[in-house]
Structure formats: structure tokens, C-alpha cells
Structure 1
């Protein structure tokens, strides 16, 4: 019986504590409502924003760091791809022009018919087989010219050495 009485007293104490908490919460809630109500009654007339400010606010609300970063990366990648494609096209054009120039040097002449044939094969009706064979023939010609130039240079150096040795022999022979 004492145990039941102790439990009842404990429950009554908990009920009183709960009442205090509820009353305090109600009082805080009532103060909050009064505060909000006073703000509502003191509402000022809002002035309309200019068009540029409304657009700025709209755009600023859309831009989040993740969206902004994604957009920036997407724009950078697109620009990079576009510029790389343009660079590849330009490099191809420069290589073609270089090969045409080297072919004309190999031929030793530059007439209208040769120009027309080269422009036709390189630009208007691109013929990759012709371009490969032309490149191979030009590179072979340049290789042969380089070897010939090296042989001529060696011959010139040998002649210079021979003349120098001849002069030294003449000096030694005439005391």
C-alpha cells in the first residue's frame, strides 16, 4: 500500500511538472504570436524593385555553388574541345602548305598547272593516297639531297686538308 501511495505521489509530481512546462510553453507561444501580430500590423508598403534587380535576384537564386561549378566546367570543356578542333584543322592546313612548298622546291618550278593540281589534291578533292606518296617522295628527295650535301662537305674538307698538307710539304721541302 505504501508503494502504491509513493507511486501516486510520484505521478502527481510528474503531472505538476508537466503542467509547469506546458504553461511556460504556452506563455512563450503567446508572446511569439503577439510579436508576429505586431509585425503584421506595422507592415510597410513595399516598393516595387526595378527590373534589373528582379532579374539579378532571380539569377542569384538559381546559382548555387554546385550548379555554378558544373556550368563553369561544362563551359570550359566545351571551349577546350572547340579550340582543339580548330587547332587540329589549322595544324593540318599548315602541314599541307609545308608539304606543297617542299614539293615546289623539289620540282624547281612553280607554274599555274602545278598550283592547281596541288590545291585540287590537298584541298578541294582531298586524296590521302596522293598526299602520302607525295610526302614520301619529298622526304626521299630531301634525304638524298642531305646525303649529297654531306658528301660535298666532306670532299671540301678533304680538299682543304690536302691543300694545307701540300703547303706544309712545300715549306718543308724548301729550306
Structure 2
């Protein structure tokens, strides 16, 4: 029978509690690091959206990141900008494809005219 009073069980429980505390601390630190990485990624994307990284812009951006509400606003601005850039790239690609198709059809028409 296992008794909590035995030294093996007691030290095992103490050891497990210590391991749990250490792992909890490690998880907390990892979450902090991941959060910092996300913030840095958003800052990079915002600076990329602005097109320049002056000292004043970086300072203002760092000040905005002190408040969660501002981070949400910055995230929405960046996501909207990235969506618009993506749509613009798709339109340009469609335009190039349409131009190629037009050229192909023009050449086909010319070849049909010559074959008559």
C-alpha cells in the first residue's frame, strides 16, 4: 500500500511540484517571447507600409505599442494595406494575362487573314 507518509512518495510529490513550477515558468516566458515576436512582426509590417523608417516614426510607433487599443488600430491598418496590395498585384497580373491573350488572338486573326 502507498502511504503519503512514506519518504519516497513525499519526495516524489515534492519533485513533481517543483517540475510543474519550473515548466509553468518556462511556458510563461515562452508566451512572453512569442508575444514580443508578434509585436515586432507587426512593427516591421507597419514600417514597410509607411515606406520609410525615420527615428521619429519608430519612436511614435513604439509609443503606440504601449497601449493595446493602439496595437489593434495598427494591426487593422496593416492588414487593410496588405489586402489592398494583394488585390493590386492580382489586378496587374490579370491585366498582363489579358494583354497576352489579346496579343495571341491578334496573331491568330492575322494568320487567318493571311491564309485566305
TM-score between both structures, scaled by the size of structure 2: 0.86
| Pairwise CA RMSD | 1.5
1:171 corresponds to which of 91, 111, 115: 111
Specify the SS of the correspondent of 2:52: coil
Structure 1 CA distance for aligned equivalents of residues 55 and 69 of structure 2: 23
Structure 2 CA distance for aligned equivalents of residues 155 and 70 of structure 1: 69
Runs of 4+ in 1 over 4 A off after TM superposition: none
2:96 corresponds to which of 156, 160, 163: 156
Structure 1 CA distance for aligned equivalents of residues 75 and 90 of structure 2: 22
Larger radius of gyration, structure 1 or 2? 1
Measured after TM superposition, the shift of residue 84 of structure 1 is 1.0
Structure 2 partner of 1:87: 30
Unpaired stretches in structure 1, ≥5 consecutive residues: 1-62
Unpaired stretches in structure 2, ≥5 consecutive residues: 1-5
Deviation digits for residues 67-117 of structure 1 (CA, Å, limit 9, x no counterpart): 232123212211211111101110111111111111111111110001111
Structure 2 partner of 1:136: 76
Tell me the matched-pair count.
110
Structure 2 partner of 1:49: none
Deviation digits for residues 32-74 of structure 1 (CA, Å, limit 9, x no counterpart): xxxxxxxxxxxxxxxxxxxxxxxxxxxxxxx833123212321
Structure 2 CA distance for aligned equivalents of residues 165 and 72 of structure 1: 78
TM-score between both structures, scaled by the size of structure 1: 0.59
Structure 2 partner of 1:26: none
Structure 1 CA distance for aligned equivalents of residues 15 and 111 of structure 2: 82
Structure 2 partner of 1:147: 87
